[in-house]
Amino acid sequence: MTIQFLGAAGEVTGSKHLITTAKGKRILLDCGMFQGKGMETDADNRNLGFEPKDIDYVILTHAHIDHSGLIPYIYKLGFRGDVICTPATRDLCAIMLQDTAFIQAQDVRWYNKKMDRQHKPKIQPLYDINHVERCMHLFVTVGYDRKFRVCDEVMLTFTNSGHMLGSAVASLEIKEGGETKRIAYTGDLGRLHSHILCSPVPFPQCDYLICESTYGDRLHEDRLVTEEQLLGVVEDTCVYKKGKLIIPSFSVGRTQEIVYVLNQLYNDGRLPHIPVFVDSPLSVNATHIFRMYTDALNDEVQDTMRFDPDPFGFNTLKYITDIKESKALNNDPRPCIIISASGMLEAGRVKHHVANHISDPSCTILIVGYCTPESLGARIQDPNKKWISIFGFDRKIKAQVTKIEGFSGHGDYTEMIDYLTRSLDVTKLKHTFIVHGESAAQQTYKDHLYEAGFRDISIPQKGESVII
Ligand SMILES: [Zn+2]
């Protein structure tokens, strides 16, 4: 059989890896969108590198758009196979893919106006809301730790990877001749001790490992340190400087984690008495889904819920869906916390909040997640930058821009290697493929894996095929 690496090879978005079995079954591991470079990623997203009609199955590790975002696109181009994922991943995809269709429509409208002025050709969105609605019929859900027969030659098991609600390592057993080959694809790996999610659960032994490497060269702060850092930024911005604290955050996962930490600080009487706004319709819907799957949350959240039934809500917190209320925040003079999407500042309401407050020295922009190097979220962190262009206007950077890494949904290299070595006898591995990381992180991660006893490690290039 062959594995072809079609995205997230030497970068962190666009996860797509195509397995073609000896009998010709085509299984796509994730179907992610390239993100983080604005409209420049459009061509990358359209050039899939395979014929959608020929794909038999998509095995989806989790709902993040860089892993799931092109499912409606391949549906539009004729894919009618099964999309196999966990139940929470399916529910989150239903709202996240709709949101992505909505953002695309906005982006394309803006881009086409610009092209019109320059007398250049216009483009169409990759897909629209109708494709999202129709592709959801293809989803088939399988719980964790259930061996699922994909077809005669392929068995699949999902194991909780602790990265986001519903996230999984996909373990495949593929029969070929008289032999069974075992492939494990990690998707994204979570932290050992998340604020809200269960720790990653060891997955079955494999022969071939396809592993993420986002933080292959980093170490994160401990969970308790992270909470103190957040409280410090809140006090400094909202109490001492009486400004607004703006937190760009992925709507799903990161936002609920930050809200949960603020909820704990509130319960402990340590959160200053200031309004907290979650300004993102998607976050509101995602939080409903988190409330449905509370059994997937860690023991600490379960304990909290014994006396606080809603760990994602407290008296001074308000969820905002209405666009008028969102705009009204600009003229609200009170110190407050605004949590809004997107996490990399590429789109969404948070971009407006940042544009409106970036030149106010009393305000803080707090980055809490990974930002691809080309994204506004990464560019705004450059300490040498005095001006930044947002919505086509140059704005002076006077607000403080700061970062807390401990809210990452990805484990650092020690957490990932600890998890892998708890799951696997590494001496039995035939090969490890490193994906989903920037080149420097991947090289360093390769060295760390070698030190931990892994051998035969490679970093595939985009488009590369290997025969196993
Ligand atoms: Zn992810």
Q: How far is the CA of 234 from the centre of ligand 1 (A)?
A: 27
Do 231 and 200 share a structural domain?
A: no
For residue 48, what are its two tokens? Answer: 């899939």
Same domain, 194 and 227: no
Distance 12 CA to ligand 1 centre (A): 10
Confidence of residue 139 (pLDDT cuts 50, 70, 90): very high
Longest Cα separation, the chain: 71
- Give the whole-angstrom CA distance, residue 445 versus residue 278: 35
pLDDT for 347 equals: 80
Using the 8-state DSSP alphabet, how is residue 163 labeled? Answer: S
Q: What is the DSSP string of 38-49?
A: GGGHHHHHH--S
Q: Which pLDDT score, from 0 to 100, does residue 406 have?
A: 83
Distance 188 CA to ligand 1 centre (A): 5
For the chain, the average pLDDT equals 94
| pLDDT (0 to 100) of residue 434 | 97
d(CA 222, CA 122): 48
Is 308 in the same domain as 249? yes
Distance 87 CA to ligand 1 centre (A): 16
Residue whose structure tokens are 């308000």: 318
Residues 142-177: pLDDT tens digits? 999 999 999 999 999 999 999 999 999 999 999 998
Q: Is 251 helix (H, G, I), strand (E, B) or coil?
A: coil
Is the pLDDT reported for residue 416 higher than 70? yes
What's the CA gap between 333 and 331, in Å, rounded?
Answer: 6
Strand (E) or helix (H) holding 55: none
d(CA 53, CA 59): 16
How far away, in angstroms, is 435 Cα from ligand 1 center? 13
Distance 67 CA to ligand 1 centre (A): 7
Q: Among 321, 255, 64, which Cα is nearest to 168's?
A: 64
Task: Please report how many Cα atoms fall inside a 13 Å half-sphere around the Cα of residue 166, on the Cβ side.
Answer: 26
What's the CA gap between 435 and 191, in Å, rounded? 18
| Exposure class string for 164-182: b at 16+ Cβ within 10 A, else e | bbbbbbbbbbbeeeeeebb
- Residue 312 and residue 305 in contact, taking contact as beta carbons nearer than 8 Å: no
Q: Shortest CA distance to 122 belongs to which of 42, 48, 49, 52?
A: 42
Expressed in angstroms and rounded, the spacing between residue 248 Cα and the centre of ligand 1 is: 16
Look up the domain containing 240 and give its range. 223-403
* Cα 181 from Cα 173, distance rounded (Å): 6
Percent of the chain with pLDDT over 70: 99
381: CATH: 3.40.50.10890
Cα of 66 to ligand 1 centre, how many Å? Answer: 7
Q: In what order do the strands lie in the sheet with 364-367?
A: 317-320, 276-279, 336-340, 244-248, 364-367, 400-403
Q: Return the pLDDT at 362.
A: 97
Residue 62 CA, ligand 1 centroid: distance in Å = 7
Strand, helix or coil at 434?
Answer: strand
Same domain, 210 and 306: no
Between the CA of 65 and the centroid of ligand 1 the distance, in Å, is 8
Q: Which of 356, 388, 403 is at the close of a domain?
A: 403
Return the C-alpha torsion angle 173, 176, 177, 182, nearest 10. -40
Q: Are residues 446 and 352 located together in one domain of the fold?
A: no
**Domain boundary at 403, 423, 456, which?**
403
Helices 281-292 and 87-117, interaxial angle, to 10°? 170
Are 209 and 230 found together in one domain?
no
Within this chain, do residues 380 and 417 fall inside the same structural domain, yes or no?
no
**Per-residue pLDDT at 426:** 97
Q: Which residue has the tokens 């996240």?
A: 96
User: Rounded to whole angstroms, how far apart are CA atoms 104 and 76?
Assistant: 15
pTM of the model: 0.91
Interhelix angle 281-292/254-267, rounded to 10 degrees, is 70
What CA–CA distance (Å, rounded) separates 236 from 44? 42
Lowest mean pLDDT among 254-268, 366-380, 447-461: 366-380
Instruction: Report the separation in Å between the CA atom of 77 and the middle of ligand 1, taken as the mean of its atom positions.
Output: 25
> pLDDT at position 38, please?
65
For residues 98 and 150, state if they share a domain. Answer: yes
d(C-alpha 19, C-alpha 269), whole Å? 53
Tens digit of each residue's pLDDT (9 = 90 or more) over 44-82: 999 999 999 999 999 999 999 999 999 999 999 999 999
**Predicted pLDDT at 71:** 98
Here the tokens at position 170 are 């996909």
Are residues 309 and 355 part of one domain? Answer: yes
- 25 and 157 in one domain? yes
Mean pLDDT, range 269-288, rounded to an integer: 94
Residues 6+ apart with CB under 8 A from 381: 367, 371, 401, 403
Compute, in angstroms, the gap from residue 235 CA to the centroid of ligand 1.
30
Q: Which two tokens stand for residue 131?
A: 């494709």
Domain count, the chain: 2
**Confidence check: pLDDT of 37 > 80:** no
8-state DSSP, 273: S
Task: Choose the final residue of a domain: 403, 424, 448.
Answer: 403
CATH number at residue 159: 3.60.15.10
Burial of 283 per CB tally in 10 Å (0-12, 13-18, 19+) = buried
Output the CA 141–ligand 1 centroid distance in Å: 19
Residue that the structure tokens 């060295």 belong to? 447
Confidence at residue 367, expressed as pLDDT on a 0 to 100 scale:
95
- Ligand 1 midpoint to CA 64 (Å): 5
Inform me whether the pLDDT recorded for 373 exceeds 90: no
From ligand 1's centre to the CA of 415, what distance in Å?
Answer: 16
Å from CA of 29 to ligand 1 middle: 14
Of 318, 198, 190, 196, nearest to 257 (Cα)? 196
Tell me: pLDDT of 125 over 80: yes
Q: 32 C-alpha vs ligand 1 centroid, how far in Å? A: 10
Residues 247 and 286 in one domain: yes
Lowest mean pLDDT among 119-123, 201-205, 232-236, 243-247: 119-123
DSSP H or E segment with residue 262: helix 254-267
423 & 275 share domain? no
pLDDT at 369: 85
**What percent of the chain stands above pLDDT 90?**
82
Cα 119 to averaged position of ligand 1 atoms, centre (Å): 38
Distance 98 CA to ligand 1 centre (A): 18
